[in-house]
Structure 1
Amino acid sequence: MPTSQDQKIIAIFMEEAGERLEELSTGLKDLPKIMADSDREPMITMYRAAHSIKGASAMLTQQMPSLASINKVSKRLEDCFKSVKDTPIKADSKVVTLSNKCYEVLKNLIERAQSPSGLSVEMGEKIAKAALPVYDMLEKHLADLMSGKATPAVAAASSGGSKPVPSALAKVTAVLKPMLQGLSKPESPALRKQIAGLCGHLLKIAPGVEPWQNLVKTTHGAIANPKAPFPVLKNTVIKELQQAAKLLEAGKADAIAPSDALVKLGSSQGRVPATAKEITIPADPKEVVKVLLKTFNKKELQAITQLLIKHIKS
C-alpha cells in the first residue's frame, strides 16, 4: 500500500499529467497548422508533454503499478511526435484522426487513474494493448509522409476523433428504460435472459464502432452472469451505457471502455454483495469527505458516522 508520502507524489503526478494533457489537447485543435509551421515550438511543446508524462509515470510505477500502461502509451505518442518535432510536415486528415485517437487513449487511462476506484493493472494493460496498433499506424503514416511514400489527403479542419453517431443517447435511452425496469424487479433466470437480450438492440446502434461493441458485449456478459446481483448491475450498467452513449454522439467513441467494476461483474468469481462498494481513501480529510458523499447514500453515511463515533470513544 502506498505511504502518505507516496500518495502526495502520485497526486502531484496526476496534477502534472492533467496540465500536459491540456497542452496536447490545445495542439490537436490546430494540428495541421502546427505540424506545417516553420516555428517548431508548438510541436516541440506537444512532444515534451508526452515525454513528461512518460518520464514521470516511469518513476512512479513501483508505488502505483497501473501507471505502467500510461507510461507505455505516452512513450508511443512521444515516439510518433519525435520524428516530426523538428521538421515541418503537411498533416493530412489521417494524421489528425490517429493523433486524436492516441490522445483519447492516454486521457482515458489518466482519468481512470485519477478516479476514486482507480485504474487496475489488468484494465490498464487491456486498454493499452488494444490501442497500440493505432500508435503504430500513426508513426508509420508520419514516416511515410516524410519520406514521400504517402500522398497527403486534404487536411482535416476539425480536431478529428471518431465519427459522431447521431441521436445515440436517445436510441440508447430507449433501450435502457426496459433494462432499468427489469433490473428493478426480483431476480429470475428468465428475466435475466430477457434483459441480456436487450444488448442485441444496443449493438445495432453503432455496429462498426469497436469500443462500443466491446462495452455492450462486456455488459451482456455481466447481465448474463447469475452471480451478478440486479442492484449492482443496475447501478453500474445503466450509468456506463449512458456515459458511453454521450461519447458516441460527441464523436469520442475511442474514449469508451468498460470499467473494472463492469468487467468483474461478468467474471465467474463469487457473487458480489449488493451493498459492496470499492473506494480509495485519500490522505486529505477534506477529500475523504468528498469521496464518502459521492459513494454512499444518507442512510449509509449515518451508519458510518455512528461507527466512527463508537470507535473514537472506545
Structure 2
Amino acid sequence: MDSANNERIVGYFIEEAKEHLETIEKGILDLSSAVNDEESINELFRAAHSIKGGAAMLNFTSIQKTAHRLEDAFKILRDDPLETDQTLESLFLKAYDILQDLLERLQGPFGLSEEEGEQIMEAAEPHFVELQNYIQQLADGEVPKPPQVTSASVRAMSPSLTAIPSDEVVMQVRQILQQMLVIFKQESTPNNRQQLQTMCDKLVNIAPEENGWQNILKCAKQAISNPKHSYRLLAPVIIKEVKLAGDCLEVGKGSEIAPSQGLEQLAYSKLPQILVSVDPNIAAETLAKVFNKEQISKLVNLLQAVH
C-alpha cells in the first residue's frame, strides 16, 4: 500500500472513530438511562467494537486494546443491566478520556508511536482494572452506598463551592449538557440557538462566584450566538470544555478553569470556522464543499505563495 493511500485510510479511520467517540461520550453522560435501554447500550458496545476493529486493521495496538477494554465493560452492562452510580460514570469518563487522548495523538503532527501508545496503556491499566472490578462489585451488590454529602461538609472540603454541594454540581451540569446535546443534534435555528444560550445562563448560576467557570460559559454563549458556526463545529468543543470544567468544580478546583484557545476563537472570531482533517485528500473534499471556485483558486494561490 503506497504512503498516500495509507494516509487516506488512516484519515478515514480517525474521522469515523471521532463519530464513535461522540456516541460513547453521550452514552456515558446519560449512562443511567442507557443501561435501561437495550438499543442505547448496544450502540455504545458497537461504537467501541468498531473503533477496536479499525485500529486492529491498521495495527494501532494501544487504541485497539483501549477500545477493547471499553467494549468489555459495555458488554457486562449489556448482558447484565445494573443500577449505575456517579462513581461508575466517572470511571467510564476517565476510560473515554484515555481513548480520546490516543486518537488525538494519532491525528497530531507527530502521530502516535508504538512506544508512546504502550506507555499510555501501561499507565492506564490500573484504571481499567478498577473499572472492571467496580462493575463486577455493582453486579454482585457489594458496593456500599456513599455517605450523604451535606452542605457543611462540602464547605469544609471546598471553600470555593459554598453555594452548592459537589454531588449536585455533577448532576446539574450533566443534565444541562444532555439537554444541549439534544438541541445540537437538531437543525440550527435562531430559536434553538436561543435555547442553548439560556442553558449557558443556567450553567453560570451553578457556580456564580467562579471566574473561570463564568469565562468558559461566556465564551460558549458568544460562540453559539454566531449563526456562521455550525453545530457540528460547536458541539464537540463546548460539550467537552464544560464537562471538564464541571469536573474541576466537583473537586473544588475552580481556580484551574479557563477557556481554551479554540473556544475563545469560536467566541470572538468574525469569520465562519470549519474543521479540516490533516489528511490532504479529506481536507480537499471538505474545502470543496465549503468554498466556491473563486475562493478555492485564491486559497491555492495563497498556499503557493507561502511555499
Q: What TM-score, normalized to structure 2?
A: 0.51
Task: Decide whether the 8 Å contact of 1:34 with 1:40 is kept in 2.
Answer: yes
User: Which residue of the other structure, out of 258, 276, 281, is the alignment partner of 1:284?
Assistant: 281
SS at match of 2:78: coil
Separation of aligned partners in 2, 1:10 and 1:128: 21
**Structure 2 letter corresponding to 1:51:** H
- The corresponding residue for 2:23 is 23
- The corresponding residue for 1:49 is 47
Relative to its length, the structure with more helix (as a share) is 2
- The corresponding residue for 1:96 is 89
CA drift of 1:120 comes to: 2.4
In structure 1, the gaps of 5 or more residues are 62-66, 170-244, 254-279, 291-301, 309-314
Q: For 1:10-159, list aligned pairs within 5 A.
A: 10-35=10-35, 37=36, 39-61=37-59, 67-153=60-146, 157=171, 159=174
Distance 1:142 1:87, change over 3 A: same
Separation of aligned partners in 2, 1:104 and 1:30: 16
Q: Percent identity?
A: 33
**Structure 2 letter corresponding to 1:52:** S
Separation of aligned partners in 2, 1:92 and 1:117: 38
Cα RMSD of the aligned pairs, angstroms, is 4.1
**Structure 2 letter corresponding to 1:20:** H
Distance 1:307 1:24, change over 3 A: closer
Distance 1:2 1:148, change over 3 A: farther
Separation of aligned partners in 1, 2:245 and 2:80: 36
CA drift of 1:285 comes to: 9.3
Separation of aligned partners in 2, 1:6 and 1:17: 16
Task: Decide whether the 8 Å contact of 2:48 with 2:67 is kept in 1.
Answer: yes
**Structure 2 letter corresponding to 1:114:** Q
Task: Decide whether the 8 Å contact of 1:91 with 1:152 is kept in 2.
Answer: no
Who wins on radius of gyration, i.e. which is larger? 1
**Structure 2 letter corresponding to 1:124:** G
- How many residues end up aligned between the 2 structures? 190
Deviations 1:131-155 (A, max 9, x none): 1211111111111111122235489
In structure 2, the gaps of 5 or more residues are 149-166, 176-206, 214-240, 250-276, 288-300
Task: Decide whether the 8 Å contact of 1:168 with 1:246 is kept in 2.
Answer: no
**Structure 1 letter corresponding to 2:15:** E
CA drift of 1:118 comes to: 2.0
Distance 1:9 1:305, change over 3 A: closer
Separation of aligned partners in 1, 2:27 and 2:244: 23
CA drift of 1:24 comes to: 0.5
CA drift of 1:86 comes to: 2.6
**In terms of mean alpha carbon deviation, does 107-116 or 91-100 score higher?**
107-116
**Structure 2 letter corresponding to 1:80:** A
CA drift of 1:119 comes to: 2.0
Deviations 1:159-183 (A, max 9, x none): 59xxx9x6679xxxxxxxxxxxxxx
Separation of aligned partners in 2, 1:281 and 1:93: 37
Task: Decide whether the 8 Å contact of 1:89 with 1:146 is kept in 2.
Answer: yes
Distance 1:252 1:121, change over 3 A: farther
Task: Decide whether the 8 Å contact of 1:29 with 1:159 is kept in 2.
Answer: yes
CA drift of 1:114 comes to: 1.5
**Structure 2 letter corresponding to 1:14:** I
Distance 1:116 1:44, change over 3 A: same
**Structure 1 letter corresponding to 2:139:** M
Separation of aligned partners in 2, 1:152 and 1:32: 16
Task: Decide whether the 8 Å contact of 2:107 with 2:278 is kept in 1.
Answer: no
Deviations 1:239-279 (A, max 9, x none): xxxxxx999755379xxxxxxxxxxxxxxxxxxxxxxxxxx
Q: What TM-score, normalized to structure 1?
A: 0.50
Distance 1:249 1:93, change over 3 A: closer
SS at match of 2:56: helix
Deviations 1:50-94 (A, max 9, x none): 111111100101xxxxx2211111111111111111322110111
**Structure 2 letter corresponding to 1:19:** E
